[in-house]
Amino acid sequence: MSMDNAANGSAAPRYGSTSTSIVSRLSLCPTKAGMGGVDKTKTNAVILKMSRGSKFYENELRKEEKTKARVAVMVTKANALRDETIKQMTTTISLSSFERQRDLSRWIVHCDADAFYAAVEIRDNPHLRGKPIGIGGNSMLSTASYEARKFGVRSAMPGYIAKQLCPELIFVRPRYAAYREASAKMQAVMAAYDPDFKAVSLDEAYLDLTAYVQQLSPEAIQQLPLDDSRHPVERVVHEMRTKIHESTRLTVSAGIACNRMLAKIGSDQNKPNGQWFLNNNPDDIRKFMADLPVRKLPGIGKVTERVLQELHIKKCEDVVEQRGLLKLLFSPTSFTFFLTSALGIRSNDTHTKHARKSISTERTFRAISAPAELEAKCRQLCTALAEELATKQIRGKCITLKLKAVDFEVKQRSQTLPSYVNDAATLFRSAHHLLQRELSAAAGAGRPLALRLMGVRLGQLYTQGDRPKSAKSIKSFFRSTSQKHHIDYNDDNGDNDDND
């Protein structure tokens, strides 16, 4: 092809030939643990059939149109680039400069409990063992057991679709107090190996075991499980996972590597109840990354995957080869993210304490429109949030109420309080005020407020013992003085599909 073909339109476009539709949005995610043996064609057909005509389907259609528009813009830009321009840009990008950022000095572990909510229910209800169960109900599932996943049932799937895929599926109501208790026991074991471990959810955490392994004496290493052909860190992780099982009767899978990203990818390699080790060797890391699908990279979801596919980028090795094209099309931040991720280069710091911006809790439920029921849900959420705030000794000033309607429209309403709070009564008083405004607005429009999800978030935080920030930037000063009321209305239709 001549270098000018793309520019003058004398040849077929090089990018954008992938055929996609709404099916790609609704289809089974092939990278999910436990889905390997699923008949994807049959499963996707059922999902499409059961979704068509529903509010969920209509919302996915709206998202699909936005995705197509985003993809079309990127494809148009790519086809307007000349081959020579892309080649020249590729030659200017030195991989060695990125390689110098690679830190191989640490052992980072990502622990991920296996089907956590479902596993707790099976542990506490032995009659459920070996049966397909889904935590949730007909409206939505929060997780599914591995027995259910064999039929294509997964988390964030409407229960009525899951039932069609697996008629024997048993719905189990979630018990969040039991999950928090099990999580606390798991984290107590982890703390013995890394007191500064970083929990990112109830069932997931990062540990830096470098110091722990380095201080082990030869005698202590000999006492570790597994034979001495295995690296000491592998043996330590196996010991830790065994202790977690002894304490909780739950299994945890783990990934061991030189940074957080690789460890997280690795924890999914041998699920359930397994561990995976990647040696701290650049050649081993590059070899592993080369064939890895880009969708496996943390931070890349359905939409970004679609964009990259239209650019003929499906694996990490494609990212490296097409780095010139990516540099020309994306922002410097996005380009750096793509290339460093594809090379297996990422932060390995699990201990840095970043300032937390907010803390929240939310629940998905069957469609509810009765004001009394909605108020009860709001109170439950505020109580749960207050318990977590008290445990972490955190207070905040900005309360946000998140509402997802039955047509999947998402709204967020916020109110800033005059002082820092963390008690359930104050949280509920503010959140209830915001909810009442929405109930009144819906009544005035002649339609009930029918919801399927509600969440409460507290922002502008400070931890007890710290001094709350009182100084304002010039920008925030003018913003605050220009607003008569401290109630913020933000309509968010939830179209960021990369957070899945």
Q: Which residue numbers are catalytic?
A: 204
Long-range CB contacts (within 8 A, 24+) of 6-11: 6/79, 6/80, 6/81, 6/82, 6/83, 7/80, 7/81, 7/82
Q: Contact, 239 vs 222, CB < 8 A?
A: no
Which of 491, 488, 489, 416 has the alpha carbon at shortest distance from 459?
416
Burial 38-69 (b: 16+ CB within 10 A, else e): beeeebbebbbebbeebbbbebbeebbeebee
Q: Contact, 309 vs 318, CB < 8 A?
A: no
Q: List the strands of the sheet with 133-136, edge to edge.
A: 141-144, 133-136, 170-172
Which pair of structure tokens corresponds to residue 110? Answer: 């990502």
Which pair of structure tokens corresponds to residue 119? Answer: 């596993």
CA distance 339 to 62: 31
Q: Write the DSSP assignment of 436-459 as a string of letters.
A: HHHHHHHHHTTS---EEEEEEEEE
The CA-to-CA distance between both ends of the chain, in Å, stands at 39
Q: Contact, 6 vs 31, CB < 8 A?
A: no
Which of 477, 387, 466, 476 has the alpha carbon at shortest distance from 424?
387
Q: Report helix, strand or coil for 481.
A: helix
- Helices 116-124 and 176-193 cross at an angle (nearest 10°) of 110
Name residue, tokens 């931890």: 463
Q: Report helix, strand or coil for 249.
A: coil
Q: Report helix, strand or coil for 216.
A: coil
Query: What separation in angstroms does the CA of 237 have from each of 114, 218, 250, 441?
Result: 16, 17, 15, 54
The residues near 475 (Cβ < 8 Å, ≥ 6 apart) are none
Q: Report helix, strand or coil for 298.
A: coil
